[in-house]
C-alpha cells in the first residue's frame, strides 16, 4: 500500500564549495553548518545561509535529514 501522505524531507544534504551543506527543497536556499549542537552554546546544530551567488555550487549527496 502506498502512503500518499508521506512527505519528502525538507532538506537535501550535500556540499557547497567542498563544505558540508544543505539545500531547502522549496525555497532553494543553501546553508552551511556553522556550529554543531553543544558548540558556542547552541542546543541544536546552527545553520547559516550561503550567499545566493554560491547556491549553484551545491552538489547533493543524500536526501535524509541530519
Per-residue pLDDT tens digits for 18-58 = 888 999 999 999 999 888 999 888 899 999 999 999 999 99
CA distance 27 to 40: 27
Domains: count for the chain: 1
CA distance 56 to 1: 37
Residue 8's pLDDT band (cuts 50, 70, 90):
confident
Q: What is the pLDDT of residue 64?
A: 55
Residue 1 has pLDDT above 50, yes or no: no
Q: Structural domain of residue 31, as residue ranges?
A: 11-59
- Residue 22 grid coordinates: 544543505
Question: What does pTM read for this prediction?
Answer: 0.73
Residue 16: inside a domain: yes
Residue 22: inside a domain: yes
Residue 1: inside a domain: no
Residue 66: inside a domain: no
Residue 6: inside a domain: no
Residue 4 has pLDDT above 60, yes or no: no
Residue 39: inside a domain: yes
Alpha-carbon distances of 18 from 22, 43, 55, rounded to whole Å = 12, 26, 13
CB 24 within 8 A of CB 59: no
Residue 4: inside a domain: no
Residue 2 has pLDDT above 90, yes or no: no
Amino acid at each position: 500500500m502506498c502512503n500518499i501522505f508521506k512527505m519528502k524531507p525538507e532538506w537535501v544534504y550535500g556540499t557547497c564549495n567542498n563544505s558540508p551543506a544543505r539545500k531547502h527543497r522549496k525555497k532553494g536556499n543553501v546553508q552551511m553548518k556553522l556550529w554543531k549542537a553543544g558548540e558556542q552554546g547552541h542546543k541544536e546544530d546552527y545553520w547559516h545561509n550561503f550567499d545566493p551567488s554560491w547556491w549553484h555550487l551545491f552538489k547533493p549527496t543524500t536526501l535524509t535529514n541530519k
